């Protein structure tokens, strides 16, 4: 096919219809090649931390459009035997290169692009079982799918690059061996990166946490937005995003594993009848537990009023426990505090606030001289 293309391109007259069809195919391929290359430079720009580098990668993307356009013009100039230099000469060189290995490289690039897109489409079609409830399997599936998708995409790009280089006459074996030696040398200098990857692998293997979990690492807490083998990305309640390398995670607290517990301390004044206050709190906890609007947020375990938990400076503290489904403990705690405040006000039981009694000695008599 390549030889036929060369003969057709080099012919002075040739079949005009065939040339037009080849030109249309060339325009189509050149457009998608330029568009894919520009997107690749934009993707690299997103990976860089310094936003000032975006201008550089943007100009590289525009330069890639210019290179592809010049190549297309050179190809069409030679295809239609238009003697405009240097495009005619460049077109001749391009045709010869395509006849030897260019078409194979082009097909490999198209196949790599299709495989890359198929990985994303297949991962998007995997049903994660989204629902109103926070289910552990959803967390594990979502996390593993993200890691598998990124790994497969990297594998597709690597294989496509090696095949393309091999068809261009480059010794891939020597290149891989050199890359292995270089990788070994870099690994000694990048021990933290290796540690991050190994720790991230065991986090995934042991299902310690995943995307959607609420965790606390050191002084940082928030929801896991993204996770891979190298780092964990948290977003806290104020919307701040924290990037934590997995190698620095020595201890993690997961607050959304299987089930949770809302712990509420209710303070009543010392002058109130404690036994009456306990009965009122127990009654309100039972009503809250059986409320149809909130029942699906609890587990099967009923609420527990543990009793007097502390004799504080200005209050008798009564502790209440609710076993809730994962990530529901905070909403349950806020709602019960609202309800118990209204109920104690209605029952005439005082919720104390800090008070201080001051004792003065004998009055000092001040006389004017």
190 or 29, which is more confident?
29
What would the pLDDT profile of 259-303 be if each residue is shown by its tens digit?
Answer: 899 999 999 999 999 999 999 999 999 999 999 999 999 999 999
Radius of gyration of the chain (CA): 35
What would the pLDDT profile of 198-231 be if each residue is shown by its tens digit?
Answer: 888 888 878 888 888 899 998 999 999 888 888 8
C-alpha span between 215 and 333 (Å, rounded): 18
Q: Average pLDDT, stretch 17-40?
A: 81
C-alpha span between 124 and 111 (Å, rounded): 20
C-alpha span between 224 and 139 (Å, rounded): 10
pLDDT band at 332 (very low <50, low <70, confident <90, very high): very high
β partners of residue 317:
267, 310
Q: pLDDT value at position 267?
A: 93
Q: pLDDT value at position 2?
A: 45
218-227 contacts at long range (C-beta below 8 A, 24 or more positions apart): 218/251, 220/244, 221/255, 226/146, 227/143, 227/146, 227/147, 227/200, 227/203
β partners of residue 321:
263, 304
- 291: Cβ–Cβ under 8 A, 6 or more apart, which residues? none
Specify the length of the chain in residues. 369
pLDDT band at 321 (very low <50, low <70, confident <90, very high): very high
pLDDT band at 184 (very low <50, low <70, confident <90, very high): low
Q: pLDDT value at position 297?
A: 92
- 204: Cβ–Cβ under 8 A, 6 or more apart, which residues? 143, 144, 147, 210, 227, 229
Q: What is the DSSP string of 300-355?
A: SSPPEEEEEEEE-SS-EEEEEEEEEETT-HHHHHHHHHHHHHHHHHHHT-------
| Spatial contact of 298 and 322, defined as CB atoms under 8 Å apart | yes
Which CATH number is correct for 259-347, 3.50.30.30, 3.30.70.100, 2.40.340.10, 2.60.40.10? 3.30.70.100
C-alpha span between 332 and 323 (Å, rounded): 10
- 275: Cβ–Cβ under 8 A, 6 or more apart, which residues? none
Q: pLDDT value at position 331?
A: 93
Q: Average pLDDT, stretch 135-155?
A: 72
β partners of residue 319:
265, 307
Q: pLDDT value at position 166?
A: 75
User: What residues does each domain of the chain span?
Assistant: 2-125, 259-347
11 or 322, which is more confident?
322
**299 preceded by cis ω (within 30°)?**
no
Instruction: For the sheet with 253-254, list strands across it.
Output: 241-245, 231-235, 220-227, 214-217, 253-254
């Amino acid at each position: 096919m390549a030889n036929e293309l060369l003969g057709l391109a080099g012919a002075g007259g040739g079949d005009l219809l065939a040339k037009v069809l080849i030109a249309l195919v060339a325009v189509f391929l050149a457009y998608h090649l330029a568009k894919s290359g520009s997107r690749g430079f934009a993707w690299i720009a997103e990976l860089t931390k310094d936003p000032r580098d975006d201008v550089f990668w943007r100009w590289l993307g525009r330069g890639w459009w210019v290179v592809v356009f010049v190549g297309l013009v050179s190809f069409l100039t030679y295809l239609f035997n238009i003697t405009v230099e240097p495009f005619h000469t460049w077109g001749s060189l391009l045709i010869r290169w395509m006849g030897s290995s260019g078409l194979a490289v082009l097909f490999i690039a198209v196949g790599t692009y299709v495989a890359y897109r198929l990985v994303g489409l297949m991962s998007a079609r995997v049903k994660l079982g989204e629902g109103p409830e926070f289910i552990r399997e959803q967390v594990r599936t979502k996390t593993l799918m993200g890691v598998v998708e990124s790994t497969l995409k990297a594998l597709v790009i690597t294989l496509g690059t090696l095949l393309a280089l091999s068809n261009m006459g480059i010794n891939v074996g020597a290149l891989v061996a050199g890359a292995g030696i270089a990788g070994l040398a870099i690994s000694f200098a990048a021990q933290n990166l290796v540690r991050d990857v190994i720790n991230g692998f065991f986090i995934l293997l042991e299902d310690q946490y995943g995307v959607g979990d609420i965790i606390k690492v050191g002084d940082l807490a928030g929801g896991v937005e993204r996770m891979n083998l190298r780092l964990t990305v948290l977003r806290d309640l104020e919307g701040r995003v924290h990037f934590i390398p997995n190698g620095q995670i020595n201890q993690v607290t997961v607050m959304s594993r299987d089930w949770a517990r809302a712990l509420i301390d209710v303070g009543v004044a010392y002058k109130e009848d404690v036994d009456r206050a306990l009965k009122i709190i127990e009654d309100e906890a039972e009503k809250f537990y059986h409320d149809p609007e909130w029942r699906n947020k609890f587990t099967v375990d009923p609420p527990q009023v543990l009793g007097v938990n502390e004799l504080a400076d200005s209050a008798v503290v009564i502790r209440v426990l609710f076993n809730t489904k994962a990530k529901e403990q905070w909403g349950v705690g806020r709602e019960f505090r609202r309800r118990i405040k209204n109920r104690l006000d209605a029952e005439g039981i005082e919720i104390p606030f800090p008070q201080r009694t001051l004792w003065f000695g004998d009055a000092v008599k001040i006389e004017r001289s």
